[in-house]
Structure 1
């Protein structure tokens, strides 16, 4: 039987500080990261309804984005990938994430919709009084 006070007498070992890119899920290493190609995304929100802790719709562009790699189980994320009607969600190597993010920054992506407060009102053409 071990002495519980041993934990207080033993020197702590140094560990690397977390980088935020750890593929940890329930103590197991996930082999790949999930990535949303926002240039292809149509903003349907299916993935955000299936894997609510992993995906969010970015408010300025109206497209889905993976915000947490460890938010949901691999099975739940795979289900979200399979619900995507335009196949814009992919499993990629963790090492590719910085390059993909840099590539996304270079793309010219237009917002899918404007917030309701800034939508332009539709104006109908004026009727001409010369119509007979």
Structure 2
């Protein structure tokens, strides 16, 4: 299974991913999004957040 990750050097802290899929993404103490539970939602739902990210900072690894 692929694992999502957030490239924090690109993240603009818009909170869209955390609002769309709070089971997987949250805003970290540094103010940027992070993936805290990569298996918290179906891949399709995670992909929707990736596709919606305005700066394309969420990727599969």
- Range of TM-score over shorter length: over 0.9
**Cα separation, 2, equivalents of 1:49 and 1:83:** 11
- Taking CA–CA contacts closer than 8 Å with sequence separation of 6 or more, which of the two structures ends up with the larger relative contact order? 2
Instruction: Give the Cα separation in 2 of the matches to 1:79 and 1:50.
Output: 8
Partner of 2:59: 90
1:43 to 10, 13, 21: 13
Q: Which runs of 4+ in 1 moved over 6 A?
A: none
Match of 1:66 among 22, 35, 40: 35
The separation in 2 between residues aligned to 1:72 and 1:46, in whole angstroms, is 16
Q: What SS does the corresponding residue of 1:42 show, helix, strand or coil? A: coil
CA RMSD of aligned residues (A): 0.7
After TM superposition, list the pairs within 5 Å mapping 1:1-132 onto structure 2: 30=1, 32-59=2-29, 61-92=30-61
Which runs of 5 or more residues in structure 2 are unaligned?
none
Structure of larger gyration radius: 1
TM-fit CA distance, 1:83: 1.0
Give a deviation string over 1:39-63, Cα, whole Å, max 9, x none.
Answer: 110000000111110000012x210
